Amino acid sequence: MFSGGGIEKRGISKAVNKRSSSRRSSSSSTGSGSTSGSSSGSGSSSGSSSESGRSNNSGSSSGSGSGSGSGSTPLGSPPHVQMASHESLNSESKSSSLNSKLGHESAGSPSAGSPSPPKSVCSSSSTSTDQHHHHQLAHVLNATSKLTVREGTRTLRPDEPTLVPGEHMEGTAREVTYLCPYTGPKKGTLSVTNYRLYFRSPETDPPFELEVPLGVVSRIEKVGGANTSRGENSYGIEIFCKDIRNLRFAHKQENHSRRMVTEKLLQYAFPASHKLPFFAFEYCEQYPENGWTVYEPIAELKRQGLPNESWRITRLNEDYELCETYPAVWAVPAAASDTDLRNVAAFRSRGRIPVLSWIHPESQATITRCAQPLVGVSGKRSRDDEAYIQHIMDANAQSHKIFIMDARPSVNAVANKARGGGYESEDAYQNAEVQFLDIHNIHVMRESLRKLQEVCYPHIDNAHWLSNLEATHWLDHIRCVLSGALRIADKVESLKTSVVVHCSDGWDRTAQLTALAMLMLDGYYRTIPGFAVLIEKEWLSFGHKFAQRIGHGDDRHQDEDRSPVFLQFVDCVCQVMKQFPHAFQFTEDLLITVLDHLYSCLFGTFLYNSERERMEKEVKTKTVSLWSLILSNPSDFENPLYNPATRHHVLFPLTSMRHLCLWDKYYCRWNPSMRPQEPVHIRFKELLHVKGQLERRVDELRRELAARQTHDSPRVTSAIV
């Protein structure tokens, strides 16, 4: 177990599901090494977005020799892969001394000319604000970052984007000025498709390009009017995005282009409000890996060693009648009958009863999740619920106690009694200890993120950076979530005691806590496929309300249900990664890609609020999974420092404020002054290549040694009788 700097090993006997070995062999060489194929007439790729952090690695221009020519950067390449300025291209081709040593052998290096993927791949698109931003922006919602032009797909004009499968043009406005907060006004052409906004200015070399998936748009406002000042650039539109950016475009009033652009943006940025399908249902890319198969509930429970004597698997909720926000398959105490489950559901908010999330492979201590009990001001009790909690405790023979971790501040839990909710009484629940984790509600978190946006975008006040950051309380909230998850992991691992986790409804703070605790306890979830399983299981199947928290496709930007709950979870994962850089198979690029596609609506993964809704909308058959992109291009996200031996380690991160820091690679990525000196993904690619060479050399030497020992071993003869 890792605790700060210490390590303690724990043998985990259960086998874990491994990724299919049929991954295409070329995926490791495409990713961030290939270039964006949507090149324009001037020879630059469509990846020259700067503010966007798009995965475009526009290697087709500037004579850097770093591109694959006709291929494009595969969709989902790491954020840094999407650099597009002339300066960044040069830095890629000369990025490091390792590059020169690897030569043409370095399949993952941009200078090696990686082959382009066999089929077009659309990536998450993000907007670029400044051509110098490319160093920083990666894995942003780059719709074309991994775009390979299909046969028959072509760009009609140099100032229009290459379309991804299912995308079509909706309108174009010329002589539009993008008011970049970093490099000043840029005049060019603004295009709107059913998936993204695309701006291209030929005023620079290479041309400045900016694109944003419309799913990222939170609201659109008109600036200026017919009766207002006619000063230059005073008339246009301002676009507010969910990923911290604001974009402003100035139009000429005499062109009458603003009206058309605004209408198209409103229509396709908010399809749910206009009764249109999400673009994910139009996107028809084919990937080598099918991401919808990465998580299979029964297989994951079997990986954990279930069913066993104490726990059984039930399909009681197969039709989502008992609890419409829970998955169809549960693991519950074997001692509890189906009748008991129904009675417990009646006493828990939304019918969300305690069900198993994770079981310790040795001690059998468990993490179960649920919603608050319906105690109310009268202090109601449920004998069935009390007996059920006892069954959970009894399933763990190593302890005669159980902890109930309530994510809320105690004041909020008491206040919930007035609305019919509440918390467990230690008098009613024998051998149970209730602890409150003091994590604030969704409204507090939303306001904290709003303040953080003001601090990080567009300009950073360096003189007051620390005080401004402290005033947002963002890191305070991150610390509370991490500390709560650490307490859960410690109870399970160190005390061998089972833990029940809940907040009010059990789909926000509960998901944060269970997922983070499982990430600390089980090294499988720190692999690329395992992390996908963790999100599918704890967030998607257990009904985190992604549609309401993110506001997919609707124009109600002031909706009280909006909150950055999932963003906080990913931020916490990044904090743990920074403390244990060898324990994760993936890098921050995977986290940024996940967040970008959380908003993009390019994939069906995060659409809707529950497993039941996704089943009704046939998401698995009519859309593409985000994990298809990630599992088809694993080398784009692999951590060269990963040590597989850490799979059997438990991580105990330090959660005091002095050990936490703002995730500037995500929150400050639009600011060119925050970009790294050298694109880190290039160095990672080179390290992975060197690591592979060394591993192959070790295998060769071992074979030679084994052959020599066999050849030199003395001949064994039988005695003559």
Q: Which sequence positions are flagged as catalytic?
A: 503
Q: How far apart are CA 661 and CA 655, in angstroms?
A: 11
CA angle 446, 452, 458 (to 5 degrees): 125
Kindly state the tokens that stand for 204.
């620079």
Residues 123 and 77 sit within 8 Å (Cβ to Cβ): yes
Kindly state the tokens that stand for 481.
């979530």
CA angle 93, 98, 104 (to 5 degrees): 65
Q: How far apart are CA 650 and CA 636, in angstroms?
A: 26
Q: How far apart are CA 605 and CA 447, in angstroms?
A: 26
The alpha carbon of residue 264 and the mean position of all alpha carbons in its chain are separated, in whole angstroms, by 28
**Helix 474-493 and helix 509-521: axis angle, to 10°?**
50
Which letter does DSSP use for residue 338 in this model?
A: H
Beta-carbon count within 10 A of 346 CB: 13
For 75, list phi and psi in degrees, rounded to 5: -60, 135
CA angle 202, 198, 676 (to 5 degrees): 75
Q: Cis (ω within 30 of 0) for the bond into 307?
A: yes
CA angle 270, 276, 282 (to 5 degrees): 105
Residue in the structure block whose two tokens are 């009788």: 721
Kindly state the tokens that stand for 279.
């673009």
**Helix 442-456 and helix 565-579: axis angle, to 10°?**
70
Residue 170 DSSP SS3: strand
Which residues make Cβ contacts (< 8 Å) with residue 466, sequence separation at least 6?
A: none
Question: Do β-strands 311-314 and 432-436 pair in parallel, antiparallel, or remain unpaired?
Answer: unpaired
Q: How far apart are CA 275 and CA 553, in angstroms?
A: 10
Please name which of 69, 26, 22 lies closest in space to residue 45, comparing C-alpha atoms: 69
CA separation, residue 533 to residues 156, 331, 348, 387, 515 (Å): 41, 16, 26, 31, 10
CA separation, residue 703 to residues 85, 123, 522, 696, 710 (Å): 47, 42, 34, 11, 11
| Region of 479 on the Ramachandran plot (φ > 0 left; ψ -120 to 50 alpha; else beta) | alpha
Residue 539 DSSP SS3: helix
- Amino acid identity, position 557: H
